[in-house]
Amino acid sequence: MADIDLTALTLEQKASLLSGRDFWSTKPIDEADIPSIVLTDGPHGVRLQKGEADHLGINESVPATCFPPAVAVGSSWDPEVAQEVGAAVGREARALGVSVLLGPGVNIKRSPLCGRNFEYYSEDPLLSGVLGAAHVRGQQGAGVGASVKHFAANNQETERMRVSADVDARTLREIYLPAFERVVTEAKPATVMCSYNKINGVYSSENRWLLTDLLRTEWGFDGAVVSDWGAVSDRVSALAAGLDLEMPGTGGGTDQEIVDAVRAGALDETVVDEAVKRVIALTALTQELDDTFDVDAHHNLARRLATESVVLLKNDGAVLPLQSARTIAVVGEFAAKPRFQGGGSSHIRPTRVDAALDMVKEHAHERGVEIVYAPGFSTVDSGNAEDLRAEAVEAAAGADVAVVFAGLGEKDESEGFDRADIALPAVQVVLIRAVAAAARRTVVVLSNGGVVSLEGWHDDVDAILEGFLLGQAGGAALADILFGIAEPGGRLAETIPLRLQDVPSYLNFPGEQGHVRYGEGVMVGYRHYATVGTGIRYPFGHGLGYTTFETRDFAVEITGDDTATVTATVTNTGSRAGKHVMQVYVATEAGPVRRPARELRAFTTMILEAGESRIVLLELGRRAFAYWDIELDRWVVAPGDYRIQLGQDAATVLAEATVTLAGDVIIPVLSFDSTVGDWFAHPIAGPALMEGMSAAMSEEKRAQAVDQQEQLRMVESMPMKQFMGFLGGAIPVEALEQLIDASKPASTI
C-alpha cells in the first residue's frame, strides 16, 4: 500500500484510526484508501468470531486447529516447536482474513495459582523469551502480525484490571521484562499489547516509561502498541504515553476526546500523527489468499508437536512404554472427554478432537491388547463417586496395568480468576490411591493448565506423565507416548513444589487493597528453591525419556570481554532415538547484590539416534553474567569468579567449570550523603582518607589504629556528613570536597 499523506486527513479522521470500529476490526477510511483490518485472539489457534463478539471465549467462533497451548510448548524447550505453532496459526489466520493474531503471551509464571498460566511458557525469562521470539518469527513469516502480550507484569488474574504490581527495578529488568525485550529486539513483532494492570501505581496503558522510554527508545520498537481489550482508563493520557490503538471500539467517544485535547492544546497533533502512521502500517499485513487450510495436515502437526511437550516425571521399573501388558485398564473421565485447552479469550473451537481412550484402543487393537474402560469419576456429578470408584478398582485389579487420566476441569482454571490451591480434586486423589492399591502397576496421566500437587499419591504409582494441555490432538499424542510410538520429549518449564506454602510468592500473591507486592524479588521459581534449599517434588528442567544420554568433555572458554563459549559432547547411550535438552546455568557471588544460586543462561534441544554423538557449542554473552544495577541504572558484570554449570535440571549439576571475568570497573561518585563505608572502600578517596586521618593522629593514637579500624565498622553505614562531627576536624571539609571531585569521571568535572 502506498504511503498515506496525513495532511489529506482531518484531525477527526486521524483520531478515528486510533480505536476500533467494533470488537475485532479497525476503522477504514475508504476515500484515503485505508482499509479495515481484523485483529483476533490467539495464540495457539485462531478464535475468529463471525457473530456476537466477546473476549472471554463465551460466544462461538469459527472452527480452527487448537494447537498445544503455551504451557505445553514451554515444556518442549524447543524453539522449533514454538515456531511451527506460530507458522501454522499464521497460515490459518491468513486463510480466515485475520491480519493480527493476538499472542504469544510471555508473562512469567510467578505463582502456580495464576489462572492464565496455561497461556504462558515458563517461570524463566530466557526460556519464555526464546520460545516467544520463535513463535513470532513463525507467525509473521506466514504474513500475520503478532501481538506479544501482556506488557508488563501481568502475572495474576485477581483484580487484573486495576491492581498495581509493585515491582522494584532490578526485579523488573531481570525477571519480568527480558522475555519481552528478546521478542521485540530479535523477532520484531507487529504490535505489543499493554496489560490491564498498573505497574508501581501507573496503568500500563498510561505508562510513558514502559511504552515509550523503554519499549521504543531503549529497545527500538517501531510497531504499534495496542491495548488489551478494555485496558484504557484515560485515552488522552494513554496516547501521550505511547499507546497507539485502543481496542475494542468505543463508538467514537474516545476519538472525540483526542480531538478535543488537540484543539485545547493539551495534546500535540504530532503525537496523533505518529500513532496514526503506526496503525496504518498494520494494514500492509492484509493479503489476498485462499480461504482454506489443510485441516488434516494441521491436525497431524498438532499431534506431533504435542508429543514434544509431554513430560515423563516418573517411570519406576520402566513401566512405560506399555509393551508387555496384555490387559490395560483405562480409568478417568478425561480419557474419554479430554481436557486440552484453557478457558477464556484463547478458547478455540477445534476442527476435531482426539480422545485418548479412542487412540489407546486403536493402538491396543493393533497389538492384540485388551482395553477395559471405567470413568472413575465425573466432573459434573459427584453423587455416584463411590460407584464409579468401585467400578474402576475392579477394572484395575483385573488388568496388567492401570492408566488413570486425571487433572483439572475447565471450570477449575481460566482467564479471569486465579486458583485457590494446587490440589487435584479430592475425588481424583482418592481414586488414584484406590486404583494403585488394586493394580499391579499404575500410570497416571495428567491434564492441567497449571501445576498440580502430586502429594498424597505420588509414591503409590509407578509412572506419571504430565501432559498439561496439549491441544486437540493431545489424546492421540498421549496414546503414542504410552505405547512407545513417540518419545516423551518434554522438560518442566516450571517447578512442581511439595506445598503451595513453599512457593516464593506465597505470602504476597495475589495482594491486597489494590496492590500486589513482588516481595520475593528476583527469587522466582527455581531461583528461590535452589538458593534457599527448599525441598521440591520435581525441579525446573526435569524430564525423563525412553532412552539415556551421556554428556562428556564439558569445557568453558572465555572468548572476549566477559563472554564465553560452552562446549560438550552429547551421546545417546540407549537403544532408541530420543530427545535431549542441554541446560547451562551460571552461578556467582560476585557483585554487591544477592544472586540466585544458579540461573539458566543457555540451552539447546537435540534429537539423537541410538549411539549418535554430537558436539554442542553454546554462547554466553555479557548478559549471561550481568545483574541490573539500580544505582547505575544499567546492566553490570561484576568482576569475579563465575561457575558455569551443566545441569541435568535446575537442581542437579552434572559438571562445572569456573571462569574469572574482569567485569566492569565501577568507581562510585562520592558525596557527603555517601556512607563512611563507601568513603573508606573507595579506590581513590579511601587511601587518601586513611592517610589524612593517620597524619592527624598522635603517635599514641596511631598505636590504637587497629582498635579504631574495628570501631569504624560500627559507623560504616553512617552518612559522611554526620560522621564529620566525629572526626574532630582531623580532615578539613575542603579536603573532603577535593576527594569528591576526584571521584567523579573526568567528563563530569
Looking at CATH, the fold of the domain delimited by 310-488 is given as Rossmann fold (3.40.50)
The confidence score (pLDDT) of residue 695 equals 65
The arithmetic mean of pLDDT across residues 378-403, rounded, is 92
Contacts of 287 (CB under 8 A, 6+ apart): 94, 143
Q: Which of 660, 654, 560, 644 minimizes the C-alpha distance to 602?
A: 644
Does the structure show a pLDDT above 50 at 748? no
CA-based torsion, 359, 365, 368, 374: positive or negative: positive
The confidence score (pLDDT) of residue 699 equals 58
What's the chain's average pLDDT? 94
The confidence score (pLDDT) of residue 272 equals 98
Contacts within 8 Å (CB) and 24+ apart, 287-294: 287/94, 287/143, 289/94, 289/95, 289/143, 290/95, 291/95, 291/96, 291/97, 292/95, 293/91, 293/92, 293/95
Q: How far is CA 524 from the centre of its chain?
A: 11
The confidence score (pLDDT) of residue 680 equals 86
Does the structure show a pLDDT above 80 at 729? no
The confidence score (pLDDT) of residue 159 equals 96
**What strands lie across the sheet with 613-620, from one edge to the other?**
549-560, 563-572, 613-620
Same fold, 310-488 and 549-661: no
Does the structure show a pLDDT above 50 at 1? no
> How far apart are alpha carbons 235 and 250 in whole angstroms?
11
The confidence score (pLDDT) of residue 360 equals 98
Q: Domain 549-661: which CATH class?
A: mainly beta
Q: Which residues belong to the active site?
A: 228
The confidence score (pLDDT) of residue 477 equals 98
For the record, the C-alpha cell of 30 comes out as 475508504
CATH of domain 11-285: 3.20.20.300
Does the structure show a pLDDT above 60 at 587? yes
The per-residue pLDDT for range 291-312, each reduced to its tens digit, is 788 999 999 999 999 999 999 9
pTM as predicted: 0.95
For the record, the C-alpha cell of 550 comes out as 551421556
φ, ψ for residue 621 (rounded to 5)?
Answer: -80, 180
State the residue for C-alpha cell 514434544.
Answer: 308
The per-residue pLDDT for range 196-214, each reduced to its tens digit, is 999 999 999 999 999 999 9
Give strand ranges (E) for 82-144: 100-102
pLDDT band (50, 70, 90) for residue 314: very high
> How far apart are alpha carbons 176 and 163 in whole angstroms?
16
Q: Which of 514, 529, 350, 532 minimizes the C-alpha distance to 451?
A: 529
The full set of domain ranges for the chain reads: 11-285, 310-488, 549-661, 676-748
The per-residue pLDDT for range 643-669, each reduced to its tens digit, is 999 999 999 999 999 999 999 988 888
Does the structure show a pLDDT above 60 at 708? no
The confidence score (pLDDT) of residue 700 equals 54
Share of the chain above pLDDT 90, in %: 84
The arithmetic mean of pLDDT across residues 1-21, rounded, is 89
Does the structure show a pLDDT above 90 at 400? yes
End-to-end Cα distance, the chain:
53
The arithmetic mean of pLDDT across residues 683-708, rounded, is 66
Does the structure show a pLDDT above 80 at 283? yes
pLDDT band (50, 70, 90) for residue 548: very high
Does the structure show a pLDDT above 60 at 380? yes
> How far apart are alpha carbons 345 and 46 in whole angstroms?
10
* Strand pairing category for 164-166 and 198-199: parallel
The confidence score (pLDDT) of residue 749 equals 38
The confidence score (pLDDT) of residue 274 equals 97
Does the structure show a pLDDT above 80 at 634? yes
The per-residue pLDDT for range 323-353, each reduced to its tens digit, is 999 999 999 999 999 999 998 888 999 999 9
The confidence score (pLDDT) of residue 685 equals 86
The arithmetic mean of pLDDT across residues 712-731, rounded, is 80
The arithmetic mean of pLDDT across residues 191-199, rounded, is 98
Question: What are the residues facing 616 on neighbouring strands?
Answer: 568
> How far apart are alpha carbons 128 and 120 in whole angstroms?
8
> How far apart are alpha carbons 38 and 639 in whole angstroms?
51
Provide the 10 A C-beta neighbour count for residue 121: 33
Q: How far is CA 589 from the centre of its chain?
A: 25
The confidence score (pLDDT) of residue 714 equals 79
φ, ψ for residue 703 (rounded to 5)?
Answer: -65, -25
The per-residue pLDDT for range 715-724, each reduced to its tens digit, is 888 998 888 8
* Strand pairing category for 370-374 and 224-227: unpaired
For the record, the C-alpha cell of 656 comes out as 562445572
The per-residue pLDDT for range 464-493, each reduced to its tens digit, is 999 999 999 999 999 999 999 999 999 999
Does the structure show a pLDDT above 80 at 696? no
The per-residue pLDDT for range 620-629, each reduced to its tens digit, is 999 999 999 9
